[in-house]
């Protein structure tokens, strides 16, 4: 199959802009490459973010199957489930959300503000799941919820979490790469490197496959937000190969294409370190970019560290894919004490 063969609904505001981050370059010491940001925080749906591109394919398949209810799982402050709630409502569907306990010692704000508040505004039915690090168990419970929906006469569509399901959402980032490469072509520039957040690996895999599919050999650096390198690298490779298989270009991906970094992960998912806080400050105060403690703050920390270490050549054009996540900051007021 080719990309156009997969059912898709329009949810995201695209193309999203590409902006030069000159003030950040100057602050970090110019001459180590040109920094850009792909503004996928501006995809529009439910305050934006990368999940809108992914959901175009999940919801597209749901519509094609005649579903009337979307069922999805994620952390309490998950951007994915918040965007899924909006996508479901936009397409006239019900939405059932399972919230997993992934982050220890959280505040009342974490449980009630940010994405959780938006889920409630969209009228989502919320389910609590006590386990945070068992994707198989989380998915298994989704299908129990789906059985309940069927028992009530509904037609559910499950968006699974685990890596044992086809990475349909990655097609959204294959498509993004065509858009991104055209933007650089229109600027008369070559894309040399991309930095993304690497969690489920769907965005990472889609970006890697998309670049190779459209002829770019730009390196893709994935900043781990949930797992260490030894766990994340095989996952990215698996999801990339699966994505490439879906569009009949399996030959474009090799193990050497997979670059993941976990220097910015500590102390774990949804928890911050000094590098993340610094990255959030610099991106906000120099480029007016809001990054979050869970994903994009750690992705920006990776970009900044790689730049400082001279990973990029002086003429390289480097893009940070800003995957959104802004609403999550309201669940972390303690991060900004003394900010």
DSSP 124-157: PEEEEES-SS-HHHHHHHHHHHHHHHHHTT--EE
Q: What is the pLDDT of residue 30?
A: 81
Query: Are 201 and 135 part of one and the same domain?
Result: no
Query: Are 266 and 182 part of one and the same domain?
Result: yes
Q: Which of 78, 223, 240, 323 is catalytic?
A: 78
Query: Are 86 and 139 part of one and the same domain?
Result: yes
Query: Are 171 and 43 part of one and the same domain?
Result: yes
Query: Are 305 and 249 part of one and the same domain?
Result: yes
Beta bridge partners of 130: none
Query: Are 24 and 74 part of one and the same domain?
Result: no
Query: Are 244 and 313 part of one and the same domain?
Result: yes
Q: What is the pLDDT of residue 31?
A: 84
Q: What is the pLDDT of residue 132?
A: 84
Query: Are 43 and 84 part of one and the same domain?
Result: no
Note down the domain range covering 178. 3-49+167-336
| Final residue of a structural domain among 116, 135, 159 | 159
Query: Are 155 and 225 part of one and the same domain?
Result: no
Query: Are 248 and 115 part of one and the same domain?
Result: no
Q: Domain holding 109: CATH number?
A: 3.40.50.1100
| Final residue of a structural domain among 112, 141, 159 | 159
Average confidence (pLDDT) per 10 residues, the chain, 339 residues: 96 98 95 95 98 98 98 97 98 98 95 98 97 93 98 98 94 98 98 98 98 98 98 98 96 96 96 96 98 97 97 96 97 91
pTM: predicted TM-score of the whole model, two decimal places: 0.97
What is the dihedral sign for C-alpha 173, 60, 77, 167? negative
Q: What is the pLDDT of residue 198?
A: 98
Cβ atoms of 18 and 37 closer than 8 Å? yes
Query: Are 96 and 108 part of one and the same domain?
Result: yes
For 193-258, the DSSP string reads EEEEEESSSHHHHHHHHHHHHTT---EEEEEESSS-HHHHHHHHHHHHHHHHHHTT-GGG--GGG-
C-beta neighbour count of 123 within 10 angstroms:
11
Q: Half-sphere exposure (CA, 13 Å, Cβ side) for 69?
A: 20
- Per the structure, the count of domains in the chain is 2
Q: What is the pLDDT of residue 93?
A: 98
Answer yes or no: 78 catalytic: yes
Q: Give the pair of three-digit tokens for residue 235.
A: 């996952």
Beta bridge partners of 71: 96, 158
């Amino acid at each position: 199959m080719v990309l156009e063969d997969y059912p898709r609904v329009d949810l995201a505001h695209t193309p999203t802009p590409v902006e030069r981050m000159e003030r950040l370059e100057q602050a970090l010491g110019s001459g180590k490459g040109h920094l850009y940001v792909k503004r996928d925080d501006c995809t529009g749906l439910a305050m934006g973010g990368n999940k809108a591109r992914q959901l175009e394919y999940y919801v597209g398949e749901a519509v094609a199957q005649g579903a009337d209810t979307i069922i999805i799982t994620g952390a309490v402050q998950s951007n994915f489930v918040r965007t899924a709630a909006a996508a479901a409502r936009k397409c006239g569907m019900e939405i059932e959300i399972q919230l997993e306990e992934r982050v220890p010692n959280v505040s009342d704000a974490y449980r009630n503000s940010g994405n959780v508040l938006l889920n409630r505004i969209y009228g989502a039915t919320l389910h609590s799941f006590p386990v945070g690090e068992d994707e198989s168990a989380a998915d298994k419970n989704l299908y129990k919820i789906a059985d309940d929906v069927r028992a009530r006469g509904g037609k559910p569509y499950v968006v699974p979490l685990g890596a044992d399901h086809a990475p349909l959402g990655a097609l959204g980032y294959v498509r993004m790469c065509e858009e991104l490469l055209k933007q650089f072509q229109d600027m008369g520039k070559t894309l040399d490197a991309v930095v993304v957040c690497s969690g489920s690996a769907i965005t990472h895999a889609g970006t890697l496959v998309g670049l190779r599919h459209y002829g770019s050999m730009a390196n893709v650096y994935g900043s781990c937000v949930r797992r260490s390198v030894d766990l994340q690298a095989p996952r990215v490779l698996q999801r990339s190969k699966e994505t490439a298989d879906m569009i009949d270009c399996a030959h474009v991906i090799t193990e050497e294409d997979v670059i993941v970094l976990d220097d910015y992960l500590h102390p774990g998912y949804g928890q911050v370190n000094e590098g993340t806080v610094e990255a959030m400050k610099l991106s906000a105060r120099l480029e007016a970019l809001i990054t979050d403690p869970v994903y994009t703050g750690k992705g920006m920390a990776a970009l900044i560290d790689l730049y400082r270490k001279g990973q990029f050549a002086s003429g390289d054009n480097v893009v940070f894919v800003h995957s959104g996540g802004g609403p999550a900051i309201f669940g972390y007021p303690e991060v900004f004490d003394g900010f």
